[in-house]
Structure 1
């Protein structure tokens, strides 16, 4: 059976007809919610003969390939004497500048719908209408053209013929992919304990289109155990695209390595890794201006050749994308986004699927897909989701922008002045109330003013497109913040709260998403199936509740594949690391560290709840032990500094190395220091997030909702950090090492019940001598590796 190559009408038109420069200059097209409402308004006001949102599909059959072209016409008007295909476009451009030839692609899209409809209904003559809706004035302008069936057929097949060359390349790749998947075996000699069970569960979940929460301890090989069955499911036609979603760059590398290991076994699959625009841009300043960037100038004239050329490769890593982008002189970021259309697996950050501001609308516009979402380190999605679904504005940025725009953008400045006045009112509400103010609903007056501001700002930005100054940059920045605030308002319900907080320098107003479960659940519906996995999904019910699962979601808990004798878990519960007690603990913690690192030379990391606490211990330990080699994490480390930090943990360190890092930071999860690269970690404290207004708001919300306010806001997130940090030690079946937990709360029943099964044999140290003896016995019992 021939492969069917599927493409949308819009995708076909854009692929064939796009040309010219890449311009990310302001075009006033970001008001998606308003645009949808405008479509609906026009459709509702139409005559009774108007049929909105009509799905159309047509298969072009060739000897060697079938091409399925589908899409949704905004409207079809069936009068007795003629048929009109209506294509609605919203614009912020004044309608006097919108002429019949305003955009060739708009006509092309509508003509394709007209051809498919005419073909299906055997119509010889049909009208095509473009309806332009001006977002500010609410005015409408229409253009109408009549076409014969033969004219439309010639136009349609001209597009098709130009696309068929690429369709045949895709078909050939799909055939190679499917054949290689059939022959593919698991990339390693054998499954680790629990790994096969995870793989089977993932396949079943995808096959049934369900959601699964999988807690798989460190060492099981979660990446291979989720990607392998997903690829097998693709070979069986259960999915056409896999999204491997991560929170951090370092875990994206794990996805790439797993795919490469399968490709080494004969897999023929196309994958692309997405890198943030500001990181992959070739220019010092990330501005897509064809006058300043040779990669933007003529980008669309060269992009299709670049895509075809890179398709000789398989896995499109950042390095490969940069190489081909330079070769064909195209924007590397836009290049990578285009490649997602044609690849089988996309490795990227969570936000490309979940963030309402930047998710890939090319896939997840307003329809569901058969995509599979593999969410690595899913415990990180809780705070990331709250961040994605929340929005804030600040008084300082409004006031600064008001002053800056006073002479050049008078109307904009007036709107900002009104916004500033409302923010002054909120600031006063904070004063005398511990510098914060909370309310359960959105302040409608500020949302209405923000709408007015965006209209004024759009008008000014469009009129001053060619201007390059600080005002334009700052105005654009706040414009998008305002849009985000309005967008969040559209989603605001009982899971949100509005709070205002006054600091020494500023006052911020935030629409804060307390419970992201509903919005995450809705986002997951964009795909067919979701696999959420992590070594630390404990307690499972908490994560199912907060991450959009329900009673129908599958759940899987796997045991560690490693011998419990390989891990020496010690607890010093004679020290309280609560914030008010920390200054009394420094010397005792230094002593604990000394006992561990002097028992056996090697590489160790000590994890702390804060940089301040870490620095206090670091100074004291170095003063007392100048001979100890140390390295420490700093705030805002560059990628190069991070790599240097990790590479310092070498098996060649004869004198050993002691690292200092923070829990929940870049070195406490997702890093793989196997063998003698790391033989122990010391974890200071139970990892509780710092007490702050937001955490207390979360606590109060869940206390009312389910009676677990402190657990949801502090305890569960904290213990996840602890377990992630401890998971750095035992990475393979040959690893042996020590984990020392320092805090009295580790012996509290409420915390102990969160311990994974492999921690049940942990030793509560009675005193320093007991600690020293326990460490000594562990290393002597196992011998020297």
Structure 2
């Protein structure tokens, strides 16, 4: 039987790190700068110098360790591990120090074993990417010393590897025999599950990332219908892990409840006699050298003590839920390093004991991980990040996989995992991804940072401020788009980041909160500038005079890179997964999501029929009322009377959706004037979580409340009010984004890439109607629900608008409660362009 396989980096990360968790900022090179630094070192070596030396070795015929050493000079007898860095080399981080040396020594042992060497000089070569200065730290080792170090690492890792192999065998056997928890599938649920499983199978067969877009209505059980086949694919299609990604925290709760239903019966989890049957970690990780912030080489530090014995494993599917850092932090008033936070002090020394106890937990949900972490005196947030490596299913936010620095994607690439990715409520990913890959330079952050800066850092910030002011002053309009990121701005940003790094390394500048925020803004802008292209805008928005009255705000504009088409950033993440399934009740039209999300042309599509009967939902189109800006004053009375009439005809709970808080308030005032007995509750702009819970608590089986809310807000999606808790909705808007220079600039980018008509639709019509359908979807949540929807606006009568509404809706013409209100402009004919329809907003 084949031995388990582990990459050198993964082995050392598991067994060799020690000391404090230290996340104080240190400037680090980009990936391209790191590669260039490696290349410069290699180019200056003798002709016989070997690069990217592939190495492999066995430990006790049970563990195969693989990797690629950066370089070997056979004439000098020197193996080199190259690390790039910025700033000063004195900024040592203990866990980086231990990791770098362990990697170099492990490669040294593998080389001695492969070539029969009895002695070897092991060198850590640190290269400053800014100055090209090199520091070489060497140690002369015998082959026996290197083997002893190697054996110690492998011994520590092997006990865990054997337990992991046993868990993997039990898990896959359990997943192969997993039964659907409810016996029978709901209508449409089986079709969805089959499509998901086929995507996982296609990815396994082709070796390329298979993608599926699944539009499925509320009520069929989309979460169970997607998770179940992916768990089956763990056994039959070789998936290592499943990532379930959500747009909101409420989605995590739904996913965890579904996964709890799918927990298989306990399986035998005795350590296997050999870890041969499961590959614990792929050798793919060995291909990429680390270019993390460097540290000086340690002085022959011994490896940490052996791991404690593993606690008896709980034979369960390991489901890990990741929280945002601000929700998981125990000491938000402290910095993440051992001198400040007690849970960071000695983190890597205490991590092995916590890790060894983790398999015995009944679940890996946030409360359980927190209890375990605090029992061992370490940070819960970073313990959860460590446990990602040993989980079966990870439930997290979109950011955890799709962001530029996403943990789940980075580990997938490093470890060579075969993963299935489920993207819940995937219609949200367009806007979320745009924000992930956008960055701006705020004049207020710049001004506040300048107050905290001294010496060269303040000088660099002054140059940056002058650059921003000069760019703003050259513009004749309040909003302008440039063809490229100005080189003068890039130079000024680079000087700021270099000055901050040098001043910090020299101990001349502490990073206050505002200065650190500005520094991160500068780094993000520089990173996105490297990838700038026709998928993004560089824009300048001059601030109104009153905005600059804020303290310390002297710069006159916000400058930034605005992502319009996330596709170039997301496509590599789709390709890294064995299968990606994006599912939602609203993925219409498919081309819009395929184009913007970077899905390949081979993406499969499935559109699940609704389980609901058309007579469950009455959909009334009120064409006599215009909700355009110019007509809103005239629309108030008809809308108020329509709501009151419907409430009198069918008493119960209703939601009314409006395009803005101002519109909402004006309708509320008219309702109170004309129908004072009608019970109202209003969403407010400053409503917090407790306020939202209180708002929803007012919708009971026996109440008769009319709630006035904003379309696209927190009550328009992800709200579940089944039965009599909600029997109807009024949508007094098409939800079209506002006309303005920013949206018009985005429209031009989309038109240039996809065509003029698509530019209009992609900017205005499709995002607006998506919000409408999501809001209306609050009414019918199960096969027993009955309800009514009123779509209020003359544009709902247009064929191209109706084509974007759910197929099962039967639209009925309805009259307003009072005299018709005409639009301020003639209604375009059905053949008019979507752009014209949008501009009538």
Could you tell me the TM-score, scaled by structure 2's length?
0.84
CA contact (8 A) 2:452 2:514 kept: no
**Equivalent-residue separation in structure 1 for 2:157 and 2:636 (angstroms):** 68
**Equivalent-residue separation in structure 2 for 1:102 and 1:23 (angstroms):** 10
Match of 1:782 in 2: none
Q: 1:683 to 1:96 in 2, by over 3 A?
A: closer
Secondary structure of the residue aligned to 1:438 is strand
CA contact (8 A) 1:31 1:483 kept: no
Q: 1:541 to 1:314 in 2, by over 3 A?
A: farther
Match of 1:446 in 2: 489
Match of 1:578 in 2: 628
Does 2:428 correspond to 1:380?
A: yes
Please show how residues 232-271 of structure 1 align to structure 2 within 5 Å.
Answer: 232-263=232-263, 268-271=316-319
Secondary structure of the residue aligned to 1:525 is helix
Match of 2:501 in 1: 458
Match of 1:16 in 2: 15
Secondary structure of the residue aligned to 1:290 is coil
Does 2:524 correspond to 1:529?
A: no
Which of 59, 62, 69 pairs up with 2:65?
Answer: 69
**Equivalent-residue separation in structure 2 for 1:286 and 1:526 (angstroms):** 36
Q: 1:618 to 1:266 in 2, by over 3 A?
A: farther
Q: 1:270 to 1:5 in 2, by over 3 A?
A: farther
Q: 1:212 to 1:499 in 2, by over 3 A?
A: same
**Equivalent-residue separation in structure 1 for 2:780 and 2:265 (angstroms):** 27
Does 2:535 correspond to 1:495?
A: yes
Q: 1:642 to 1:388 in 2, by over 3 A?
A: same
Match of 2:606 in 1: 556
Secondary structure of the residue aligned to 1:660 is strand
Does 2:119 correspond to 1:125?
A: yes
Q: 1:454 to 1:105 in 2, by over 3 A?
A: same
Match of 1:592 in 2: 642
Which of 738, 748, 765 pairs up with 1:700?
Answer: 748
Secondary structure of the residue aligned to 2:137 is strand
**Equivalent-residue separation in structure 1 for 2:201 and 2:217 (angstroms):** 24
Does 2:649 correspond to 1:604?
A: no
Q: 1:403 to 1:323 in 2, by over 3 A?
A: closer
Does 2:327 correspond to 1:279?
A: yes
Alpha-carbon offset, residue 364 of structure 1: 4.4
CA contact (8 A) 1:26 1:462 kept: no
Match of 1:418 in 2: 463
Alpha-carbon offset, residue 715 of structure 1: 0.7
Match of 1:34 in 2: 33
Alpha-carbon offset, residue 623 of structure 1: 4.5
Match of 1:781 in 2: none
CA contact (8 A) 2:17 2:98 kept: no
Alpha-carbon offset, residue 380 of structure 1: 0.8
Secondary structure of the residue aligned to 1:442 is coil
CA contact (8 A) 2:200 2:237 kept: no
Which of 611, 628, 648 pairs up with 2:698?
Answer: 648
Please show how residues 86-125 of structure 1 align to structure 2 within 5 Å.
Answer: 86-95=80-89, 103-125=97-119
Q: 1:756 to 1:361 in 2, by over 3 A?
A: closer
Match of 1:437 in 2: 480
Match of 1:779 in 2: none
**Equivalent-residue separation in structure 2 for 1:484 and 1:747 (angstroms):** 45
Match of 2:559 in 1: 509
**Equivalent-residue separation in structure 1 for 2:264 and 2:677 (angstroms):** 45
Could you tell me the TM-score, scaled by structure 1's length?
0.90
Please show how residues 105-254 of structure 1 align to structure 2 within 5 Å.
Answer: 105-209=99-203, 210-254=210-254
CA contact (8 A) 1:454 1:482 kept: yes
Q: 1:556 to 1:96 in 2, by over 3 A?
A: closer
**Equivalent-residue separation in structure 2 for 1:332 and 1:636 (angstroms):** 31
CA contact (8 A) 2:326 2:332 kept: no
Q: How many residues align?
A: 754
After superposing the two structures, state which structure 1 stretch, 713-722 or 179-188, moved more: 179-188
CA contact (8 A) 2:59 2:151 kept: no
Secondary structure of the residue aligned to 1:617 is helix
Alpha-carbon offset, residue 222 of structure 1: 1.3
Does 2:721 correspond to 1:673?
A: yes
Alpha-carbon offset, residue 292 of structure 1: 4.0
**Equivalent-residue separation in structure 1 for 2:459 and 2:561 (angstroms):** 24
CA contact (8 A) 1:100 1:143 kept: no
Secondary structure of the residue aligned to 1:576 is coil
Secondary structure of the residue aligned to 2:262 is helix
Please show how residues 623-662 of structure 1 align to structure 2 within 5 Å.
Answer: 623-651=673-701, 654-662=702-710
Q: 1:70 to 1:621 in 2, by over 3 A?
A: farther
Please show how residues 44-63 of structure 1 align to structure 2 within 5 Å.
Answer: 44-58=43-57, 60=59
**Equivalent-residue separation in structure 1 for 2:515 and 2:161 (angstroms):** 43
**Equivalent-residue separation in structure 2 for 1:557 and 1:659 (angstroms):** 32
Q: 1:101 to 1:529 in 2, by over 3 A?
A: closer
Q: 1:17 to 1:344 in 2, by over 3 A?
A: same
Q: Render the CA deviation track for 1:168-222: whole Å, top value 9, x for unaligned.
A: 3323322331222122111223112221111111111112221111111212211
Q: Render the CA deviation track for 1:31-50: whole Å, top value 9, x for unaligned.
A: 45533432343344444434
Alpha-carbon offset, residue 59 of structure 1: 5.1
Does 2:385 correspond to 1:337?
A: yes
Q: Render the CA deviation track for 1:505-532: whole Å, top value 9, x for unaligned.
A: 2411111222111221122222222111
Secondary structure of the residue aligned to 2:389 is coil
CA contact (8 A) 1:91 1:134 kept: yes
Q: Which has the higher contact order (CA 8 A, sep 6+)?
A: 2
**Equivalent-residue separation in structure 2 for 1:477 and 1:332 (angstroms):** 24
Secondary structure of the residue aligned to 2:795 is helix
Q: 1:629 to 1:322 in 2, by over 3 A?
A: farther
Match of 1:768 in 2: 817
Secondary structure of the residue aligned to 2:71 is strand
CA contact (8 A) 2:538 2:561 kept: yes
CA contact (8 A) 1:212 1:530 kept: yes
Q: 1:718 to 1:96 in 2, by over 3 A?
A: closer
Match of 1:721 in 2: 771
Q: Render the CA deviation track for 1:111-164: whole Å, top value 9, x for unaligned.
A: 112223333444443332211012442201112333333222211111111223
Q: 1:702 to 1:100 in 2, by over 3 A?
A: closer
Q: 1:167 to 1:294 in 2, by over 3 A?
A: same
Secondary structure of the residue aligned to 1:28 is coil
Q: 1:717 to 1:97 in 2, by over 3 A?
A: closer
Secondary structure of the residue aligned to 1:263 is coil
Secondary structure of the residue aligned to 1:103 is helix
CA contact (8 A) 1:272 1:345 kept: yes
Secondary structure of the residue aligned to 1:144 is strand
Alpha-carbon offset, residue 284 of structure 1: 4.3
Q: Render the CA deviation track for 1:317-354: whole Å, top value 9, x for unaligned.
A: 22222222332222121111111111011111111111
Secondary structure of the residue aligned to 1:132 is strand
Match of 1:616 in 2: 666
Q: Render the CA deviation track for 1:58-95: whole Å, top value 9, x for unaligned.
A: 45456xxx44433443x13253x465432111233534
CA contact (8 A) 1:399 1:417 kept: no
**Equivalent-residue separation in structure 2 for 1:419 and 1:722 (angstroms):** 43
CA contact (8 A) 2:22 2:338 kept: yes
Alpha-carbon offset, residue 477 of structure 1: 1.3
Secondary structure of the residue aligned to 2:390 is coil
Q: 1:579 to 1:320 in 2, by over 3 A?
A: farther
Secondary structure of the residue aligned to 1:702 is helix
Alpha-carbon offset, residue 359 of structure 1: 4.2
Q: Render the CA deviation track for 1:719-741: whole Å, top value 9, x for unaligned.
A: 11111111112121112212221
